[in-house]
């Protein structure tokens, strides 16, 4: 297992408790923003299940866990500025950002207001803030206090109705996991988090988010009903919705299932990730790269496929010619400048469709974008493509909305 360094740093006069796991050189780290009242230790099962080559940065929000109270209450804009400066102190110009629950709201705000610092976005069990579809009043009332974090017996009683999923069948185990893996901060820090989100909503800027976005939601989440994830999926242009069977604490209870899904999304080339999300390539690769390339790779079954990584034209969008030519067993797209490469070639799987404007492009299975290194089970392959494991209500066509 890759060694993780847990230490304290100072950012603009604020002490932050951080945990940093080094990853593969040249690969952006995954910055995790936790939920309300939760310290960085709570998501240890998820971090342990991630690809060891994936760098990870976790931190305690001021007033939570090991980070002392801030000098004054804060809002999301101020917190996002602090997070951006924290990345600079840690030596990173940008990161992939994952936010869960309350942290998902911060992640949305960060992606919008600190856009150059966020490469890709993963939103887990979260919503749009004040404009969200709310939970039942009895569930919402439980969020107004942190009693569940300090009273194990109370947590065991409310966990089934509050978190859903595995907490319904094993409330004692779930409550024990939270109690053992969470570091309690001052009570005022919890209320600072509540007031930071008071009146906030991401609705005005969701349609302007530029990052490829993966939205993950449990189908039994009493706290953040799944309809919120579906609404965000409709609003965020480059987004894909993955619904798993579980509740609000999926990253803890279903870490072994969800970690490969997140890893596959983060590791996919930008061109392939955008094709996966929308069915339409959106231009250049990661910042600083403009060369279009096509790589032929061989997977475990000996099948060969071409993964095109895109080329940005002056208009800022990949524009293959209307006609896709077939060279031997490979289907190759031609850009306006004559260079080759479009889509993913599967010799035994040829799914062509015609998009508006006369361009033909092929669909592909999402997990195969990065090969088979994550060894996703077949039902997870299908879940990535159609929106939920084993089938679901979506037809699997890139860019379609539920």
Summarised one tens digit per residue, pLDDT across range 329-347 is: 333 333 333 333 333 333 3
- Cα 249 from Cα 163, distance rounded (Å): 6
> With contact defined as beta carbons under 8 Å apart, do 33 and 107 qualify?
yes
Please give the pLDDT value at position 343.
35
DSSP secondary-structure letter at 60? P
Tens digits of residue pLDDT in 6-38: 999 999 999 999 999 999 998 999 999 999 999
Q: Which residues of the chain have pLDDT under 50?
A: 281-375, 379-402
Please give the pLDDT value at position 174.
83
Catalytic status, residue 329? no
Q: How many CA atoms lie within 13 A of 395 on its CB side?
A: 6
In the sheet where 213-218 sits, what is the strand order?
Answer: 4-11, 14-21, 56-59, 30-33, 95-100, 118-124, 213-218, 239-244
- Delimit the CATH 3.40.50.1820 region(s) of the chain: 4-267
Kindly state which CATH superfamily the domain 4-267 is placed in: Alpha/Beta hydrolase fold, catalytic domain (3.40.50.1820)
Please give the pLDDT value at position 273.
61
Q: Which one is catalytic: 101, 112, 175, 217?
A: 101
Kindly report whether the global pTM for this prediction surpasses the value 0.85. no
Please give the pLDDT value at position 161.
92
> With contact defined as beta carbons under 8 Å apart, do 397 and 279 qualify?
yes
């Amino acid at each position: 297992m890759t060694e993780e360094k847990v230490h304290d740093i100072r950012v603009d006069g604020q002490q932050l408790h951080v945990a940093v796991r080094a990853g593969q050189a040249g690969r952006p780290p995954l910055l995790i923003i936790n939920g309300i009242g939760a310290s960085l230790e709570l998501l240890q099962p998820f971090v342990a299940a991630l690809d060891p080559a994936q760098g990870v940065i976790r931190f305690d929000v001021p007033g939570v866990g090991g980070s002392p109270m801030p000098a004054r209450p804060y809002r999301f804009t101020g917190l996002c500025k602090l997070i951006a400066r924290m990345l600079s102190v840690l030596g990173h110009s940008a990161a992939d950002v994952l936010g869960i629950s309350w942290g998902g709201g911060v992640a949305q705000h960060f992606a919008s207001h600190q856009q150059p610092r966020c490469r890709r976005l993963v939103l887990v069990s979260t919503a749009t803030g004040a404009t969200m579809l709310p939970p039942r009043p009895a569930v919402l009332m439980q969020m107004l206090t942190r009693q569940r974090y300090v009273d194990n017996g109370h947590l065991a009683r409310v966990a089934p109705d509050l978190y859903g999923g595995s907490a319904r069948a094993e409330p004692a185990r779930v409550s024990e996991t939270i109690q053992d893996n969470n570091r309690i901060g001052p009570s005022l820090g919890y209320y600072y988090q509540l007031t930071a989100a008071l009146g906030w909503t991401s609705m005005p800027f969701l349609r302007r988010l530029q990052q490829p976005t993966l939205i993950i939601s449990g189908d039994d989440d009493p706290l953040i009903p799944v309809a919120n994830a579906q609404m965000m999926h409709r609003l965020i242009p480059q987004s894909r919705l993955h619904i798993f069977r579980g509740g609000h604490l999926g990253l803890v209870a279903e870490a072994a299932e969800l970690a490969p899904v997140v890893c596959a999304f983060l590791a996919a080339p930008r061109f392939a990730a955008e094709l996966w999300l929308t069915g339409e390539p959106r231009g250049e690769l990661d910042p600083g790269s403009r060369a279009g390339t096509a790589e032929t790779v061989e997977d475990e079954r000996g099948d060969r496929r071409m993964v095109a990584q895109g080329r940005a034209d002056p208009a800022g969008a990949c524009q293959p010619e209307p006609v896709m030519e077939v060279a031997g067993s490979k289907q190759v797209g031609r850009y306006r400048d004559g260079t080759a490469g479009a889509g993913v070639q599967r010799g035994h799987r040829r799914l062509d469709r015609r998009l508006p404007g006369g361009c033909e492009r092929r669909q592909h299975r999402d997990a195969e974008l990065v090969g088979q290194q994550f060894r996703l089970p077949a039902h997870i392959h299908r879940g990535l493509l159609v929106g939920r494991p084993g089938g679901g209500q979506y037809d699997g066509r890139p860019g379609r909305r539920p």
